[in-house]
């Protein structure tokens, strides 16, 4: 490295005197000096190269590789920008990470909040589901058993004549539809290949809270290159989502983690990396996506999948009511933490036979607190038709117990 000595010590002896001021004078003998001119030093090897003036043929491939990498990056940037997928959040050019720095350390804050770890852990269990039929379509799937069972959406595999499952490592396998359930929009596909396969850990949505962090992983638009990872929060719980061609989807998790078309059937995870939902739908308006999507709680998806794997179809327990969450003010007035308000009772259903009526507030199920309508639905999903349960009910300010024999939900439209 060269120094600018215009205001410095050109004699190198600390005197501060410059040649212009001191004039020419003969230097002391070499043995009386602390410095030597290069010509006075005996050389035992080739002369060192001056960093600016010396030239040697370069055999180092890194400059060429760097230029090639920059050209490739520019081309890639052009492709991404042309698809409209590039959002300007600021760029940092020329950053080189030393080989000795681990990827997690180079990732900075993202590694600290666990998203990088989640992506690396769960990513191998996220598959792309390609369907051939009257129309070709693509979606996502979550491998949840080592022998290759994949959770996805019923609408993804609807009308499928053949199914291919593309795993995170790029391998492609034939898939077989085990069964699907339009009521929950859940389907199970079996990979027709020998395992074991990487699997995602299934958690629970029973204790979710609005504002809780989420991570969504899917395979949007069937793009090659592995899963796509987005982050957000739980925006709402217990949503009722209209369906274009079937019954509404009940008890859905709403999240602002981006769920692009093609990510349907992917995983919604908590920050521990456990699957809490299967991404199902995105909210659309006349302007396009509204910035949030929905996922079927994993408790429901798991129960449906177990039924499908055992019998080929899902069996739903039925109480025979429609309801909503008890609002906070009413809950405070009643001295409870929450509950499920019965808005209507289906004639001839189990609830009607047990004497439940509109206006009742269900606050308990067989000794288990019921804080909301969504919690009631999730709790009922874990039970079987024919079981008798005790519902703790608030009616006109009084608390009473109603025993109900659960039934089997009739097919949609009946």
Instruction: Enumerate the domain spans of the chain.
Output: 120-191, 213-311, 317-408
pLDDT of residue 248: 77
Average pLDDT of every residue of the chain: 75
C-alpha pair distances (Å), 65 with each of 94, 232, 349: 14, 38, 72
pLDDT of residue 342: 96
| Number of separate helices (H) and strands (E) present in the chain | 10, 20
CATH fold of the domain at 213-311: Thrombin, subunit H (2.40.10)
- In angstroms, the CA 139 to CA 127 distance is 9
Residue 8, Cβ neighbours under 10 Å: how many?
Answer: 11
Where does 83-227 have alpha helices with state H? 103-107, 109-112, 115-122, 154-157
When the candidates are 3.30.40.230, 1.10.3720.10, 2.40.10.10, 2.40.37.20, the CATH number that belongs to 120-191 is 2.40.10.10
- Number of residues that make up the chain: 414
pLDDT of residue 23: 41
Q: What is the pTM of this model?
A: 0.60
Which positions of the chain have pLDDT values less than 50? 1-25, 34, 37-39, 41-112, 286-289
CB 354 within 8 A of CB 403: yes
- In angstroms, the CA 25 to CA 19 distance is 9
Two tokens, residue 148: 């290759």
Domains 120-191 and 213-311 share a fold: yes
- In angstroms, the CA 360 to CA 343 distance is 8
- In angstroms, the CA 216 to CA 282 distance is 13
pLDDT in tens, 221-273: 656 666 789 899 999 988 878 776 666 787 889 999 888 777 889 999 999 99
CATH fold of the domain at 317-408: Pdz3 Domain (2.30.42)
Catalytic positions, written as ranges: 155, 185, 264
C-alpha pair distances (Å), 39 with each of 34, 36, 43, 191, 354: 15, 8, 9, 77, 109
- In angstroms, the CA 271 to CA 391 distance is 34
pLDDT of residue 21: 37
């Amino acid at each position: 490295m060269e120094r600018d000595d215009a205001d410095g010590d050109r004699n190198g002896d600390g005197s501060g005197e410059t040649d212009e001021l001191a004039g020419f004078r003969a230097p002391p003998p070499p043995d009386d000096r602390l410095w030597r001119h290069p010509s006075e030093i005996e050389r035992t090897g080739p002369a060192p190269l001056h960093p600016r003036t010396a030239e040697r043929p370069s055999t180092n491939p890194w400059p060429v590789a760097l230029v090639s990498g920059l050209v490739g990056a520019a081309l890639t940037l052009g492709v991404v920008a042309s698809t409209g997928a590039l959002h300007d959040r600021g760029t940092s050019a020329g950053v080189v990470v030393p080989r000795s720095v681990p990827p997690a350390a180079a990732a900075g804050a993202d590694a600290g909040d666990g998203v990088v770890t989640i992506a690396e852990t769960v990513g191998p269990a996220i598959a792309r589901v390609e369907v051939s039929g009257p129309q070709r379509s693509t979606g996502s799937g979550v491998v949840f058993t080592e022998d290759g069972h994949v959770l996805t959406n019923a609408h993804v595999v609807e009308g499928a004549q053949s199914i291919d499952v593309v795993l995170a490592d790029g391998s492609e396998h034939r898939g077989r539809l085990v069964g699907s359930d339009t009521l929950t929009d859940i389907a199970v596909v079996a990979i027709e290949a020998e395992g074991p396969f990487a699997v995602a850990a299934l958690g629970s949505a029973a204790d979710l809270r609005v504002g809780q962090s989420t991570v969504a992983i899917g395979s949007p638009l069937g793009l090659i290159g592995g899963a796509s990872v987005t982050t957000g929060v739980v925006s709402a719980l217990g949503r009722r989502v209209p369906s274009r061609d079937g019954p509404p989807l009940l008890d859905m998790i709403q999240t602002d983690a981006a769920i692009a078309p093609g990510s349907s059937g992917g995983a919604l995870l908590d920050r521990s990396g456990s699957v809490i939902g299967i991404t199902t739908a995105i909210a659309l308006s006349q302007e396009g996506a509204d910035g949030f999507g929905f996922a079927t709680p994993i408790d429901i998806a798991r129960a449906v999948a177990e039924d499908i794997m055992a019998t080929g179809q899902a069996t739903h327990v039925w109480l025979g009511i429609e309801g909503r969450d008890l609002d906070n003010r009413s809950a405070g007035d009643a001295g409870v933490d929450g509950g499920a308000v019965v808005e209507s009772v289906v004639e001839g259903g189990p609830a009607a036979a047990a004497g439940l009526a509109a206006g009742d507030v269900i606050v308990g199920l067989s000794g288990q607190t019921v804080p909301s309508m969504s919690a009631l639905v999730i709790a009922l999903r874990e039970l079987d038709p024919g079981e008798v349960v005790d519902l703790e009910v608030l009616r006109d300010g009084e608390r009473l117990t109603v025993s109900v024999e659960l039934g089997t939900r009739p097919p949609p439209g009946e």
